[in-house]
Structures are given as structure tokens and as C-alpha cells.
Chains A and B, each alone.
Chain A
Amino acid sequence: MANPITATLSAKLSGLLGFSPAVPLRRWAPDQPLVDGTVLVLGTGADADAVAALLSGAASSETGEGPGWGLEVHRHPAPDRRYAAVVAVLTGLEHPDELHAPLLAAASTLKGLGRGGRVVTLSRAATSDDAPAVAAARQGVDAVVRTIAKESRGGTTANGLVLAEGVPVTAPSVVGGLRFLLSTRSAFVHGQLLAVDTAAGALPADWEKPLTGRVAVVTGAARGIGASIARTLARDGATVVAVDVPTAGEQLTGVANAVRGTALQLDITAPDAGARILEHALARHGRLDVVVHNAGITRDKLFANMTEAQWDAVIAVNIAAQLRINEALLTSGDFTDAPRIVSISSTTGLAGNRGQANYAATKGGVIGMVRATAPLLEAFGGTANAVAPGFIETEMTAKMPAVTRQVARQLNSLQQGGLPVDVAEAVAFLSSPQAGGILGRTLRVCGQNVVGA
């Protein structure tokens, strides 16, 4: 929580350093509209029509493959009209020439986007199987999205969904991903291209409670990002098993009681941790569907000065324990009903960071782990993905020196640190039934941090 004194100091420091004050981001709240205003859907063809129908369809009735969202939708930009969001459906592109119409139409609306506006593109993944012109057009979209993100102001975000060949725009993960990116749940997701690999997954019966009936384990749940993940999953309907080391039991009790879940005091590096998690979840809650590997530690030291103990401790907690727990779950036969594994990586795992060789090894390791784990789960509708936070306001980052912290906050296009809930929202999305077509990916929640991008 923002301390008034440090907040004032930060603002002063920010001014001294010549930074403009960041725009407060809108976050999810109960009974908030999905999009606060009119949505402009650009593009032509069946895919664009299907997306427009989804957004504008009556919220209570069935339209096409899913219920509509009851939004006011325009298909062409009206002069002087302010839009809350722009969705560009670019799945049919076959040549860079075809970028002109939809993208310049989008460009004409950007200045008029309201605070916390949304730009979302839907495009196809460029692969070496494509004709060169097709691949050029598709790859070009990614770079345009990143550019729009860098130019956007007022808490507006720009992101894209990149569909694998053959995945329809009505696939659950495209629909779910679009809804996530349009909503305030993605407040700190910026400049990202999220891949949708397959048409697997299922739309939730209730968009407000997509995790109803699901049992989720969250490690490192006693505080910070882990506590926020536990609260967010519970908010979305999950029954939560909150796991943390026995010494963090007092805070863990508070989290477990707040989310009406159960507390499991457990050192995840114990050889039988996976079995104990499974046993607890099955005995108490009858099932286990979601595992969020959030627990992590840092033992920072310049690589040249790194001790064995510092290296080994970070490897043991941040990656070896996750691998062992996943193996126990995957071989149990009890983790097969469209299960979800979501692991917390870090921008440090992509870019490295001075003094964090051990941490970087594990956070990079997480990215590799989920990519290789996802195929093992695909047969029964399961997924494994990671979330890579950038600078998040936590107890850990609060201990950074003030100037370093202030600079770190500014190193992204939203010019501020994210909140634990921003990471939690991404985890909740990847844990949901609608994310079943996203396989082995790492979603950055970093405000388009310059690090590792």
C-alpha cells in the first residue's frame, strides 16, 4: 500500500529527475463494465464480422459460438468520436500493403482514446511455412503493436493476440484472451503479443467466476504477489490451497482465512512436497486443477562473488522444486481434467540482471520448463504457462534504494511499477478454462519494460 510519506517523496524525486507523473491505471472492480465506452472493430472478412458480433451481441443471448458481450461497436471510425477500445482483426493479411487500411484507421483514433484505452490486434503467427509476403505482413503486425504501445499515453495499452494457423477467432483462448486484454484485468500488460496455439479450452459459464469448481494451489501465498494470486483466484471462483513455508504460517493463516481456503505449511523443496500437495487437495477439496508456482527467493550477488550456498538455495526453491512437484502431479493420474500450471518467471529470466545470475538461471529455467511441460499436458486439455513480471511494487522492491527504485519504475512505457494484482490477473487468466489453447507461453506483465523486450 502506498505510504503517504514515501509516495510524496517518490513524487518529488520523480519531479527532480524530470519524470512526468504516471497516470493511475484502472484495475478491475466488481460490477465494472467490460469496456467503458464504444469499441471500434477494424478489418474486413468473416473473422472481423465474428469478432464484431461477439462484442456487440446481446450479453444474455447466444450469438454464434458464444454469448455476446453487449458492447456498443462501430465498424468504421466516426469523425470526432472517442473510442474506449480499438480491435483490429488482421488475420486475413496476405501482403504488407494490406496493413494500410485497418492500421491507418486505427491510427486516426489513437489520440481520442479515453484514459485506460485499449488497442488489441488479432493476427496470425508468421512462420517459415508462409509465403514471404504473408510472413512479412504478419511479422509486421507484431512490430506495429509494440510501437503503438511505446507511443500510447494515459494508461492506454496495446497488445496483440497471435493465432496459430487454423485457430479460429472464435476459439476459447482467442475470445478469452481478447476479453482479458480489453478488460482492466490486463492493466499492466502492455506491448505484448500473446500466442494462441490451439482451439482447445472452454468458455466459462460465468465470465466473473471462470474458476468456479476448480481447486488451485498457490505456493508462496503468505504475502506479496502470492497472496494477491490467492485472492484473485478465489475471487474468480476457485477454492484455494495456500502454501508457504512453516515460518510464514501466521501470514498464511490470514490469507487462507480471507479467501476461505486452506493453509498448507510446507517447504516446497521437501522431496515429498508434490505428494503432500496432492494429498491435501484431494482429501480436503476432492480435486486439484491449478498449480501456481509462485514461491521464489533471491540471494543476489555479483556472479564473480557468488557462493555455492547462494546459488544452490535459489535453484532449489525457484526451479528444482517446481520440476519435482510437476513430475509428481503428472505421474499421479489425478491431474488430468484440463489442468493448469502457471509459473512465475521474471523479466530477469529473459534479459538477465546484474547481481542475479542464480535468479536469472531459475527464471529463464521457468520459461523453458513451461514450454517443455505443456506438450505433456495437452492430451488431457492441460496447459503450462508462465507470467514474467517486470517491476512490481512489493515488499521486496520497497527495499530497493529510492533512486534505483524510481528509475526502475520509469523503465517501461506505462512509466510506473505494476501492482501484485496485475500479476495475479494474468495468472488467473492463464488458469482459466478459456486459456486452454495457450501452450507453454510466457506472458510478460511489465508495462512494456525495456528490459529484455
Chain B
Amino acid sequence: MAPEKTAAPGTPRRALVLGGNRIPFARAGGRYAHASNQDMLTAALEGLVARYGLQGERIGEVAAGAVLKHSRDFNLTREAVLGSSLAATTPAYDVQQACATGLETLVSLSNKIRLGQLESAVSGGVDSTSDAPIVVTDRLRRALLDLSRATTPGQKLAALARIRPKDLAPVAPSTGEPRTHLSMGEHQALTTAQWQVTREAQDEVALASHQRLAAAWDSGFFDDLVTPYRGQTIDGNLRPDTSLEKLAALRPTFGTGLDAPATMTAGNSTPLTDGASTVLLGSDAWAAEHGLTPLAVVVDAEAGAVDFVHGEDGLLMAPAFAVPRLLARQGLALADLDLVEIHEAFASTVLTTLAAWESPEFGRERLGLDGAFGSVDRDRLNVHGSSLAAGHPFAATGGRIVATVAKELHLRKQRDGGTPRALVSVCAAGGLGLTAILEAA
């Protein structure tokens, strides 16, 4: 493809997805149990550098982040860059937007490319639930801080004397929302009940996810998207041999205290996972200079948030509002999308989002439309599986989805022609959601 001419100042140009690399996702406590966020992000970057021959290259900017982040991990991304084969003159910064982190880094870097501020960039994300930061009690923390400030032996002793044995127990890390003290699963259980999503429908989504991801691995689809790490060569959570029967046999884990039937199990909810992902972005000129085939164009993005604390919307429902705004701005309908990637935080997250869009009432009352927003064919939805099968290392999920869908868009354009389009929708803690449109380059 001929590179586009440099755009006039102020006129956006194309931001391209050129490729990606992630490490296989591993179950918490598995092979990456002793790998830090920095280790994993560096590994994902190193694989990207090797695949695209970027050794010693100064990339315009690298942005990544982690959700569960140690206090020592300030400048996590910059440290990963320094530990990689990229030029040490590559700038980097950290982002934290819960599970949307990996997609937010992509959106913000793409915009810089569109504006001509960057020629190349790497977005990414990493999370370890195995190597999660341990939080100490507030009483212990205050005593230790006072101790560090103490100047006389008497002050030091006084600070130490305040510590009680019970203060020494670590505070368990929690996925609970700070304002509701409910875990994400319990929040989604409320939404699941609200939208009356059945157990069977959720298990079907989970089964399709495993089957489709397994097929993608078998066909070699991930050969140029994933680099093994620490002996993990395939996503650790993947269960190619699971079945509706096996899924149906699992006991519910969330929503067991509600009046509605508890339907969410370990099988139709994403497990805690460790992993890292990266996406290589660039301008047309930079891609041509490096002999890289553009896979997809980052067209547009829209963030959303819901008032899950006081309002009627579920914690993970923000994309249900963001996507209609995004498509309206682009003059598109759901039917115009060839691929739809909805992050499977839980099977019922996908199903409640689809149900909201299919509801004429929701369309009229909440989206301000004439009727239902629309529906998504299942054969366009998460075609290579998603988080239920691959696992969900929070900040790494966006990069996994984007690289996968960008490759699929490119393959479809090569095969069928035209300009296939994809929607990416990621819900996040805090009632957040981030959505984006990509099209084949």
C-alpha cells in the first residue's frame, strides 16, 4: 500500500494497528505465579520487538499499565522499556483505567498518531493476580510511617509500641468496589437478575468462547500474536473439551444471596489470570518504512460511565450507552459491523449488553431512540473466543482483543475484499466502559 502523504497540520491521518504480541495468559497461581508485572510486560514487549525487528528502535511512545499495581511499580511501562531491546530513548507512560486500561492506551496513542504527534507507538497492559500487592492495615501503615519520621529512640519506641498483633495481618486484596463493597461478580449478579438472563444462555456463551478460542489455537491463528513465556505455550484457562453438561454441573458462585436464581458460576465468569499484551501502532509512512503490513485502522472511540452507586444501571453496563453514541457519531448501525468484540467479563455481561440493545424500552427510555438499538448476530460476536476462555489479566485484555480483531479484519479483507469493520467493547470497574471501532486497513 502506498503511504499516505503527510497530512496538513490539524488534519487527522490514519492510525494503524500493525501487529501485536502477548504472552499466553496463565491461571492465577500458575506458571507466572512468581513473575512480576514488570517481568511480564517486558516479555510481551520483547516478543513484539523480535517479531517486528525493533531492536534499538526509538518508538514514539509506549503506554501501558496495570490494575493491580505495587507501589514500587511507579513508571512500570518505562521500566519495561528499559528492560527491553527497544532504544532507551523510547518515552513511556502508565495508564490505569481498570479493565479498560489496555484499550485506553491504544486509543490515546492512536489519537497522537492521528494528530501527527507520533509516528509509532506501542500500547499495552499487564496484570498479575498472583503477584498482587499486599496491603497492610491502616494502623500498621501509620505506625510504620511515624517510625520512619521519628528522630529519637523514645519516639521510635512509642511508634513501635502502638503496633498490635492483629495489625500485622495483611489486608486481602479484593475486587470489591470501594463504594458498594460488592465484588464485580456480585454486581453482575444483580444485573443478571435485573435482565433475567438464564444460566443456559450464559453457559452457551462460555462454551462458544472455549470452542472458538481452541479452534483459533489449533489453526495457528495465534502463531504471530502470542509468544510463549515461562513454559506456558497456550492460554492456561482454555478448556477445549468443556461441554454444556460440564458447565451445567458447576455450582453458582455469585448471586447466591439474591431472590432470583443464582446463575453465575466459575465456568461462565472469567477467572483470575496473569498476563500481558502489547499492540504495535504506527502511521502509514512508518509502516511502509519498516515493511509492515497495516492490519487495521483505529477509527474512533467512545468512553462511558454509569451511576451504578445510586442509579439503576449495573456496574458493567457502561458500554451499552457508549456504543450507541459511538456508532451514531460514525453514522453506523450494529448491522454495519462485521465483527463485534464484547469483553466477556462474565457471560452475562455480554448477554445483558445485548439484551439492553435489543430492548425497545431501553432504546426509547435510556438511549433516546425510537425503539431498540439493534441486535448482534452470534456469528459476528467474539469469533475467536474471548475472556471466558482466554482468561482476563485486567489491563492486558484490551491489547489481546485489539490485536486479535485487527488480524481477523485484515484476513477478511484479503479474503472477501471490502473494508470490514469491528466494534470493540470493554466494560470496567467503577461503572466505566470503553468502546472503539476498527476497520481493515
Complex interface bits, B47-86 against A, C-beta within 8 A gives 1, otherwise 0? 1011111011000000000000000000000000000010
Chain A residues whose CB sits within 8 angstroms of the CB of B229 once the complex forms: 250
Selected interface stretch from B93-101, B137-145, B219-227, B357-365: B219-227
Which chain A residues in 228-273 approach chain B with CB under 8 Å?
Answer: 242, 246-250, 252-254, 256-257, 260-267, 270
A261 and B227: CB pair below 8 A? no
Q: Give which listed residue, A254, A263, A270, contacts B51 with CB less than 8 A.
A: A263
- Name the B residues within 8 Å of A264 (CB-CB): 51, 224
Q: Check if A284 sits within 8 Å of B50, measured CB to CB.
A: no
For the complex, give the distance between the alpha carbons of A160 and B417 in Å: 59
By secondary structure, the B interface counts as: loop
B51 touching A246, Cβ below 8 Å = no
Tell yes or no: B292 within 8 A of A by CB: yes
Output the nearest chain A residue to B84 by Cβ-Cβ distance.
A257
Q: Could you say which residues of chain B place their CB within 8 Å of the CB of A270?
A: 220
A152 to B391, CA, bound (A): 62
Contacts of B226 on A, CB cut-off 8 Å? 246, 249
Find chain B residues with CB under 8 A from A252 CB. Answer: 50, 227
- A309 beta carbon closer than 8 Å to chain B: no
Complexed CA–CA distance, A373 and B305 (Å):
65
Q: From B56, which residue of chain A is reached at the shortest CB distance?
A: A260
CB distance from B354 to the nearest CB of A (A): 34
How many angstroms from the CA of A265 to the CA of B47 in the assembled complex?
A: 11
Interface residue? A283 (CB, 8 A) = yes
Chain B residues 188 to 245 lying within 8 A of chain A, measured CB to CB, are 220, 222-224, 226-230, 233
Contact of B293 with A283 in the complex, beta carbons under 8 Å: yes
Which residues of chain A come closer than 8 Å to B53, judged between CB atoms?
256, 260-262, 284-285
CB-CB contacts below 8 Å: B284-332 with A: 290-293
Number of A-B contacts (CB under 8 A): 72
Chain B residues with CB below 8 A from A248, complex form: 228
Least distance between A33 CB and chain B CB atoms (Å): 31
A154 at the B interface (CB under 8 A) = no
Kindly state whether residue B439 has any CB partner on chain A within 8 Å: no
A–B Cβ pairs within 8 angstroms, 23 of them: A246-B220, A246-B228, A249-B47, A249-B227, A249-B228, A249-B233, A250-B228, A250-B229, A253-B50, A256-B51, A256-B53, A257-B55, A260-B53, A262-B50, A262-B52, A264-B51, A265-B227, A266-B223, A283-B292, A284-B53, A284-B291, A284-B292, A285-B53
Interface residues on A, range: 20 to 34
CB-defined contacts of A213 to chain B, threshold 8 Å:
none
User: Is residue A21 within 8 Å, beta carbon to beta carbon, of the partner chain?
Assistant: no
Q: Is A286 an interface residue (CB 8 A)?
A: yes
Closest to B57 in A: A260
CB neighbours (8 Å) of A242 from chain B are 50
Give the distance to chain A from B209, nearest Cβ to Cβ, in Å. Answer: 21
Bound state CA distance, A253 and B50, in angstroms? Answer: 5
Q: Which of B47, B222, B290 contacts A253 (CB 8 A)?
A: B47
CB distance from A289 to the nearest CB of B (A): 16
Write out the residue numbers on chain A whose beta carbons fall within 8 Å of the beta carbon of B228: 246-250
In the complex with contacts A253-B47, A253-B50, A283-B291, A260-B223 CB distance below 8 A: no
Contact of B50 among A246, A247, A263, A285 (CB under 8 A): A263
Contact A257 B49 (CB under 8 A): yes
* Interface status of B46 (Cβ within 8 A of chain A): yes
20 extra interchain contacts, Cβ-Cβ under 8 A, other than A246-B228, A283-B291?
A246-B222, A248-B228, A249-B47, A252-B50, A253-B51, A254-B46, A254-B50, A257-B50, A257-B55, A257-B85, A260-B53, A260-B55, A261-B53, A262-B50, A263-B50, A265-B224, A270-B220, A283-B292, A283-B293, A285-B53
> Smallest CB-CB separation from B229: which chain A residue?
A250
Contact of A262 among B51, B56, B293 (CB under 8 A): B51
Q: How far is the CB of B270 from chain A (nearest CB, A)?
A: 24
Q: Is the CB of B223 within 8 A of A284?
A: no
- CB contacts under 8 Å to A, within B265-299, are 290-293
The reply to whether A257 and B46 contact each other, CB–CB distance below 8 Å, is: yes
Cross-chain contact A246 with B223 (CB below 8 angstroms): yes
Contact residues of A between 274 and 310, Cβ < 8 Å to B: 283-286
Complex interface: chain B residues within 8 A of A267 (CB): 220, 223
* A247, A284, A285: most-surrounded residue (chain B CB, <10 A): A284
CB distance from A23 to the nearest CB of B (A): 38
Closest to A257 in B: B85
Which residue in chain A gives the minimum CB-CB distance to B46? A253
Give chain A nearest CB distance to B351 CB in angstroms: 33
Chain A residues within 8 Å of B233, by CB: 246-247, 249
Given contacts A246-B228, A247-B228, A284-B290, A256 and B223 within 8 Å (CB-CB): no
